[in-house]
Copies of this chain bind each other. A is one copy, B any other.
Amino acid sequence: MASESQNWVFMVTAQTPTNIAVIKYWGKRDETLILPVNDSISLTLDPSHLCTTTTVAVSSAFHQDRMWLNAKEISLSGGRFQSCLREIRARACDVEDENKGIKITKEDWAKLHLHIASYNNFPTAAGLASSAAGFACLAYALGKLMDVKEDESQLSAIARQGSGSACRSLFGGFVKWIMGKEDNGSDSLAVQLADEKHWDDLVIVIAVVSSRQKETSSTSGMCESVETSLLLQHRAKEIVPKRILQMEEAIKNRDFASFSQLTCADSNQFHAVCLDTSPPIFYMNDTSHRIISIAEKWNRSEEAPQGQMLF
């Protein structure tokens, strides 16, 4: 580090929206690399609504990597944070700020420590994909800080190692997470199916029926589903591949009837697999049931579906 002062700090702030799957991801074939048992498709929300804001800072004055989530310090020792940090650092480039007279070389990044501050403007771990927005934002912000040259799809494969569905938040609009075939996960990444302008009269309403933290985290829940649900593999192998094709077609044609029918059916089937898990996982409550019933009745009373539940 060619720097006159020890007091410099380099920072980047990024903002990343959460995403809501319309064809669900539930079940991993590799726990460490976070490789899914099926493709999934999601919509990225408007960043002005539900989003994570993350500031990453580097300074030679920092003595260890540290992170704060919603203003409370959390541990970075977990494998998922370590994977993301390791993968981004491995791709770091030379960064120079001529005004401040600072230059950080590729090699310096391995020795420098980071401070990370992240904030969700919506309930954390309550079924609103906070970890998706969080890890996507982290990967993106770190990538900017270290001048990583990889494109969004390549970055998505890194964010994926933090939280599977995070890979889908690297793009706006309609995004597909391709499960991939490789054992090393190199082809398990997100691609944009259509951007946010493609279907701009589509509105997503998020009803927070409970802001309490989920009793079963997605990570442990889907692990238990893979181990105990006798329906999960059938869903992943026989049902989802066809639905993915139908959903891509519905999005392409802005066909709301098909889009909403597939979205509802797949959301319900995801909850069905959760229920088929031992012990069963309940992510819906009586209020969720009531909202779904109202939306179903509304749709049946109109000629074509008018509104739908996404989660």
Contacts and interface: CB of A to CB of B under 8 A. Distances in A.
Interface of A: 215, 228, 230-231, 234-235, 238-239, 261, 264-265, 268-269, 271-273, 275-280, 282, 285-286, 289, 292-293, 296
What number of copies of this chain does the assembly contain? Answer: 2
A264 B279 CA distance: 9
Given A230-B235, A282-B289, 12 more contacts: A215-B293, A230-B238, A231-B234, A234-B238, A268-B275, A272-B276, A279-B292, A279-B293, A280-B292, A280-B296, A285-B286, A286-B286
Contacts of A231: 231, 234-235, 239, 269, 272
Q: Which residue, of A215, A235, A286, A296, has the highest number of chain B Cβ atoms within 10 A?
A: A286
Contacts of A239: 230-231
A257 to B, nearest CB: 13
Contacts of A271: 275
A289 B279 CA distance: 11
Contact of A278 (B265, B273, B275): B265
Nearest to A297: B279
Nearest to A235: B231
